């Protein structure tokens, strides 16, 4: 899951015109949510533009419990998400993104809905990359890492493997294109969560493999994002999301899109059955 963080500056005020996003939501009774087509976290029907997926479905259930409505009012790119929050075009991001320190600095993040393990996808015959704890063999000028501009995989490549060659792709490039370029030998490595790899393999069996099945390269929390300085909004979203988790409704939504494979790590509850 990706989100541009480079070149963005922290907001000096919680919302446009001095009104918080939380207050706008309460006054209007509507949560305006931006969305990205990134299955299964968010899915946009190409014909009808209807929005579904784990996060949109969860947000609708949360809104129902809050006696609010959800309006998915703008499809955005990963690079433009923060801009729309800053200018008040929408109240939150309705499709989950990976939490990291930079995003925590620039926006308000919810508690996790689940966790994604990041795989290292290569061609089946790749033998240069050794599965060590730090994957140091990736940090080599002969290794070409494919990554989308502004994405978390790009950030990983730049900071963890600075000696590798980065094959960059513009924002809006689909993950399937990067997988295809791994197969076509235009790049050697692509960092992606298991769902994306399994989705590609369903149409291209045997074409790629994940070297990090048992121990992911990184693990990220998948969260909702709200504007900076929104503690009351965060409290509302956090408690609503945890209500779905504790009731079992969130797990049912995840399984609906995950299928029989356990592709996402669940959030452990802070209690045990007696």
Neighbours of 186 (CB within 10 A): 13
Whole-number Å distance between alpha carbons of 161 and 200: 25
Map residue 98 onto helix, strand or coil: strand
Decide: pTM greater than 0.85.
Answer: yes
Closest by CA position to 92, among listed 107, 103, 102, 79: 107
Structure confidence at residue 206 as a pLDDT band (50, 70, 90): very high
pLDDT in tens, 35-47: 988 899 999 999 9
Please determine, for residue 11, whether its predicted confidence score (pLDDT) is greater than 60. Answer: no
**268 Cβ contact list (under 8 Å, min separation 6):** none
pLDDT in tens, 57-86: 999 999 999 999 999 999 987 778 888 998
118 DSSP assignment? P
Task: Give the helix/strand (H/E) hosting 119.
Answer: strand 119-122
Residue whose token pair is 């446009």: 16
Please state the rounded mean pLDDT for residues 175-179.
95
Map residue 227 onto helix, strand or coil: coil
The answer to whether the 20-115+220-258 and 119-210 domains have the same CATH topology is yes
Task: Give the helix/strand (H/E) hosting 222.
Answer: strand 219-226
pLDDT in tens, 228-265: 999 999 999 999 999 999 999 999 999 999 988 888 99
Peptide bond into 219 cis (omega under 30): no
Structure confidence at residue 16 as a pLDDT band (50, 70, 90): low
Q: 38 exposed, middle or buried (CB, 10 Å; 0-12, 13-18, 19+)?
A: buried
Whole-number Å distance between alpha carbons of 221 and 115: 4
Map residue 141 onto helix, strand or coil: coil
42 DSSP assignment? B
Domain-by-domain residue ranges, the chain?
A: 20-115+220-258, 119-210
Q: 144-148 and 189-192 as β-strands: parallel, antiparallel, unpaired?
A: parallel
Give percent of the chain with pLDDT exceeding 90: 73
Closest by CA position to 126, among listed 183, 83, 194, 86: 183
CATH topology of domain 119-210: D-Maltodextrin-Binding Protein; domain 2 (3.40.190)
Structure confidence at residue 103 as a pLDDT band (50, 70, 90): confident
Q: 30-35 and 69-75 as β-strands: parallel, antiparallel, unpaired?
A: parallel
What is the crossing angle of helices 21-28 and 231-247, to 10°?
60
Spell out the alpha helix ranges (H) of 19-76: 21-28, 54-66
Out of 3.30.70.20, 3.40.605.10, 3.30.2350.10, 3.40.190.10, which CATH number does the structure's domain 20-115+220-258 have? 3.40.190.10
């Amino acid at each position: 899951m990706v989100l541009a963080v480079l070149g963005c500056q922290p907001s000096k005020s919680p919302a446009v015109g001095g009104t918080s996003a939380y207050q706008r939501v309460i006054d209007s009774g509507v949560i305006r949510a931006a969305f990205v087509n990134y299955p299964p976290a968010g899915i946009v029907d190409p014909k009808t533009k209807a929005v579904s997926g784990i996060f949109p479905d969860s947000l609708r259930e949360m809104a129902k419990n809050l006696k609010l409505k959800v309006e998915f009012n703008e499809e955005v790119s990963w690079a433009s998400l923060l801009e729309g929050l800053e200018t008040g075009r929408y109240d939150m991001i309705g499709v989950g993104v990976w939490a990291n320190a930079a995003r925590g600095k620039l926006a308000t993040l919810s508690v996790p809905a689940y966790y994604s393990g990041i795989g290292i996808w290569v061609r089946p015959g790749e033998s240069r990359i050794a599965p060590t704890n730090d994957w140091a063999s990736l940090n080599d000028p002969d290794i070409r890492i494919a990554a989308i501009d502004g994405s978390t995989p790009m950030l990983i490549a730049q900071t963890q493997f600075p000696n590798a060659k980065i094959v960059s792709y513009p924002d809006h490039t689909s993950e399937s294109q990067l997988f295809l370029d791994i197969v076509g030998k235009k790049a050697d490595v692509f960092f992606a969560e298991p769902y994306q790899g399994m989705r590609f393999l369903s149409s291209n069996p045997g074409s790629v493999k994940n070297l990090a099945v048992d121990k992911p390269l990184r693990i990220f929390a998948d969260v909702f994002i709200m504007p900076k300085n929104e503690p009351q909004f965060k409290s509302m979203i956090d408690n609503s999301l945890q209500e779905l988790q504790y009731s079992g409704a969130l797990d049912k939504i995840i399984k609906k899109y995950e299928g029989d494979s356990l592709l996402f790590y669940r959030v452990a509850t802070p209690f045990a059955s007696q």
